[in-house]
Amino acid sequence: MTFSIVARCPRTGMLGVATSSKALAAGAAVPYVRPSVGAIVSQAFSNPYLGIDGLTLLEQGLTAERALERVIESDRGRDLRQVAIVDRDGHTAAYTGAKCIPWAGQVEGGSFVCLGNILTGEETVKAMVVAFEASVDEDLPERLLRALEAGQEAGGDRRGRQSAGVRVLHAEDYPYCDLRVDDHPDPVAELRRVFTLFQREEPFRQMMPRRDDFMPQWEAVIRMREMLEASLEEEATVAKER
């Protein structure tokens, strides 16, 4: 039902997933990511506990391969599942159940996996691999989105289009980037538009609390607050004069 990429950036340590599907809100259902632990895709006839339990196993120190073995072993519906894992060290593992609707499969690369089911063909995941590997100098959210765009261009989900999402975590326990298009006729293109808006918010993200410093760039935060208050007061004055 879905095509996705799960990856770790060896340069920054970012971990993330990008996904698109002819299903509602794939960006909410498919990705499971925990900073400094790993990232997991759970799709096809998805079992959320493969992602939830898989992250717990990775946090306990299991490799991607061993964590995958454990979660698949515990799921008697495994023939209907599709799962991919990348761990904190960039090791990968992937599984496509025998009863996933074709085309279904995966391609593993260096610190990433591209995978999908009910696709127009293998060309979808192959195109994702090429796009991801060709964008090595970009940050992980951009690379994931380029892979998603390439997969859509190559055919994508053979049932059509509905949703897309990208989720990336970095140094903090909250997401660095978490964007979703839950229901749209061209979700990957719409995700690109939303991502462009996200990129404009970089100055604000630099002011976000960190685990070791709840108020980084204090002076900039105060200036922004003063500018916002002044703008609101000006708008109120204009409204009264009308």
Looking at residue 218, what is its pLDDT?
83
Looking at residue 236, what is its pLDDT?
87
Looking at residue 216, what is its pLDDT?
85
Instruction: Check residues 93 and 221 and name the one with the higher pLDDT.
Output: 93
Q: Is the pLDDT of residue 206 over 90?
A: no
d(CA 45, CA 35) in angstroms, rounded, equals 26
Looking at residue 5, what is its pLDDT?
98
pLDDT tens-digit map of 58-89: 999 999 999 999 999 999 999 999 999 999 99
Average of per-residue pLDDT values in the chain? 95
**190 CB-contact burial (10 Å; exposed 0-12 / middle 13-18 / buried 19+):** middle
Among 31-40, 116-125, 187-196, 228-237, the minimum mean pLDDT is found in 228-237
Query: For the chain, where are the E strands, in sequence order?
Result: 2-8, 15-21, 31-34, 38-44, 81-87, 92-96, 105-109, 112-116, 163-169, 177-181
For the chain, the helix, strand and coil percentages under 3-state DSSP, each to the nearest 5: 40, 25, 35
**Unique residue bearing structure tokens 């299903």:** 23
Among 55-69, 89-103, 219-233, the minimum mean pLDDT is found in 219-233
Sign of CA dihedral 159, 148, 27, 44: positive
pLDDT tens-digit map of 115-155: 999 999 999 999 999 999 999 999 999 999 999 999 999 99
Three-state DSSP state, 160: coil
175 pLDDT tier (thresholds 50, 70, 90)? very high
Q: What does pTM read for this prediction? A: 0.92
